[in-house]
A = this chain, B = another copy of it.
Amino acid sequence: MTVDISEDELITAIGRVLSGTGPDVLVPVGDDAAVVRGGTGDLVLTTDALVEGTHFDRTMSTPRDIGYKAIAVSLSDIAAMAGSPRYALCALTLSGDVDAGWTMELFGGMREATDEFACALVGGNLARGSEVTVAITLTGEVARGAVVRRSGAEPGDVVVVTGTLGGAAAGRRLARRGAPWTEDELHAIHRHERPAPRVGEAPVLARNGATSMIDVSDGLTRDLVRICEASGVGVRLDPAKVPRHAAAAEGEALGGGEDYELLATMPSAAAAADAAGELADVFATLLTPIGTIAVDGLQTIDDTGATHPLEPSGWDHFA
């Protein structure tokens, strides 16, 4: 952008222009997905675009992986509202140098993801452009009133995160560096190519009382600050507790983004422990307490108990 405003500031400005304020609009722009009143449950709606050069590189990724990832990132947004994915649409822009085979492989990858997570790719649109863009819209369902928003965190809540962080960023770095790779490094590359949205895990967190939730798409600290801002609270983050992928550097775990893990706040340490037990048993997924919601102040806390200002790092697509 030629302007000096951030992506978040632009989204806030756009939110004022949107018409998402009727009585049937339960969550307008500004959360992981919009929520509107459906016939029986509530309908969760999200849209995302993967743009060549920005989000993928055709020389580095297969069309099958790009298609899978396009669906996975939208699945992650529906999960972060505690919704169940239902129907996907794809608006695809193709450049002149991709052929029908490439396009079919792309749709094949989307199909793999929709099959794996029990939703259906029901429609789409093709257009021409100078670069490949894969814009996915996903609808999901949630029982009426059961969405988990970003805005419900309360002082005293325990901050938790699923899985490990930094793997996707490490994978991107390692894929660019080239072979040879260790087993951990190959796993990180797989995390980057085929992120695993936490579709099954999210309802478990919701059932155990999660007060707020977001998916870690732009980096842990950046997404944590979004929860704090939406909830009007502060946080004490313990960086030493952040579960780091075996191939990731500390900076990648705190600000790397694209891990699509769930970051949530739980009402008590007991609720966090219950959810952790259930996730371990059913999904073999880690759930790690990494901090505490505070009345105000965005801070990290070190081994000695001393606090330092939390510096949000991560992606701003327009920075």
Chain A residues close to B by CB (< 8 Å):
1-3, 5, 7, 10-11, 13-14, 17-22, 24-25, 28-29, 33-34, 36, 38-41, 43, 45-55, 86-87, 89-94, 96-101, 103-104, 107-108, 111, 114-115, 119-131, 133, 135-137, 139, 317-318
Contact = CB atoms under 8 A, between A and B. Distances in A.
A19 B135 contact: no
Given A19-B119, A29-B124, A47-B123, 8 more contacts: A17-B104, A36-B122, A45-B137, A49-B133, A49-B135, A51-B129, A128-B318, A131-B131
Contact of A137 (B47, B86, B98, B121): B47
A268 to B, nearest CB: 32
A177 B52 CA distance: 34
A33 B127 contact: no
Contact of A39 (B41, B97, B99, B133): B41
A49 B18 contact: no
B54 A129 contact: yes
B127 A19 contact: no
Contacts of A135: 47, 49, 91, 93, 125, 133, 135
B131 A19 contact: no
Contacts of A51: 93, 127-129
B2 A99 contact: yes
A17 B108 contact: yes
Contact of A130 (B43, B48, B107, B131): B131
Contacts of A136: 91
A96 B1 contact: yes
Nearest to A74: B125
A14 B115 contact: no
Contacts of A47: 89-91, 123-125, 135, 137
A68 to B, nearest CB: 13
Contacts of A123: 18, 20, 28-29, 33-34, 45-47
Contacts of A54: 127-129
Nearest to A41: B39
Closest 3 CB pairs between A and B?
A39-B39, A34-B123, A135-B135
Given A1-B98, A100-B3, A126-B317, A19 B120 contact: yes
Given A91-B48, A135-B135, A17 B100 contact: no
